[in-house]
Structure 1
């Protein structure tokens, strides 16, 4: 599998409004990697993810994502970058007045898909991948939290992204369901899709090994294999 460089940050400062949250960020992420972002609430995990899909502007350093220069990215080009990135939020953000199928159909049509046969095939593909094809005609309120999050992951896979960004994807789920979701994301990584996940749950690190970064004191630091990760590394709360 080609070890393609997807993200390259050199000396990047990340601001949330006018507040500096991370400074001098150095980051390289390649295809097929599983990457954890740890850190206390407000330490910059979510801000870093938002910078990657160009929701927060970058004005210093070198910032390349999937072939785009984020410092130079025009507003019209941002949707093309985002189509290469699947985004999984903690709070689902499904359209509550549409079925599972209609939620996914809406996204495909909004991103330029037109052929009905292709749309139906792609929806079937991603729903099968997350084990939810049988629930395609259900409304979101008829699904459990774990099932809704599986649909969110299916939605993130619709445009065959090179990378998935997941922000506390198990924050609202019980431990068993959360474990199933992380296993699903981990298996998606095996197909070559990079996964970058902000989490406060240290339990995943042994079960699903990956690279580990910590946001702390306005810095992003990679924790190497011989560095212990303790509960003090993160807050007991989710979010950022």
Structure 2
């Protein structure tokens, strides 16, 4: 089943509070693909990501995410969909009152992991994967922005997701740290998770090529890869 389509949107319209955010969305994501979503702040990129994890409803068009029809998905099926998604937020959203290790453990327990040994092994694995294997005991505020973002990525890959949604993951980081984060995401992508990354840093597109879509004037257009 190589390169199966895991997200398919056909002629989807997204509206919020009666306002049309994006219209005429035709979008497809295959396993292991790396896709950029570009566009100005407020052009609908984050809202589009929210439709993928069921935070924003889709009322028009056909939308399928990992086998779920997003128009008719029931509230009780959303958690099992979200377990197959990893989400990387620009503002980290780490729990500030507990260590890196406890942050990761919290997610595993919340998603049904019970075996203490398996939990410890998985946390160590993801920390190693993101180059943070010695930082488990630290509190989030003791880490730099780039280190916090690595922890957020570690958190996103804990359950080996089919898809990672990275919303401006380099937005709060300096250029060099941002490059390293995209490099890390590319590496994770090469191991099988598809990635959708929103960004307004167009330099990254040249350095780390991928498929590109642009949100502009309520439209959602595929760009020709240079």
TM-score normalised by length of structure 1: 0.92
User: Where does structure 1 differ by over 3 angstroms across 4 or more consecutive aligned residues?
Assistant: none
Partner of 2:117: 117
Partner of 2:98: 98
Determine the C-alpha separation between the residues in 2 that align with 1:133 and 1:36: 29
Determine the C-alpha separation between the residues in 2 that align with 1:97 and 1:188: 28
Alpha-carbon distance, 1:225 to partner? 2.6
Partner of 1:154: 154
Partner of 1:82: 82
- Counterparts of 1:74-223 in structure 2, within 5 Å, are 74-223=74-223
Matched, 1:36 2:36: yes
Alpha-carbon distance, 1:209 to partner? 0.5
**Residues 53-94 of structure 1 deviation map (CA, whole Å, 9 limit, x = unaligned):** 110000111100011111111111101101101000000000
| CA RMSD, 1 decimal | 0.9
TM-score normalised by length of structure 2: 0.98
Alpha-carbon distance, 1:33 to partner? 0.8
Alpha-carbon distance, 1:42 to partner? 1.1
Alignment partner of 2:42: what SS? coil
**Residues 116-166 of structure 1 deviation map (CA, whole Å, 9 limit, x = unaligned):** 011011111111110111000000011000000000000000110001001
Alignment partner of 1:135: what SS? coil
Determine the C-alpha separation between the residues in 1 that align with 2:93 and 2:72: 29
Partner of 1:238: none
Determine the C-alpha separation between the residues in 1 that align with 2:204 and 2:27: 22
Q: Kindly tell me the number of residue pairs found equivalent between the two proteins.
A: 226
Determine the C-alpha separation between the residues in 2 that align with 1:47 and 1:140: 27
Structure 1 stretches lacking a partner, 5+ long = 227-240
Structure 2 stretches lacking a partner, 5+ long = none
Determine the C-alpha separation between the residues in 2 that align with 1:225 and 1:93: 32
Determine the C-alpha separation between the residues in 2 that align with 1:95 and 1:158: 16
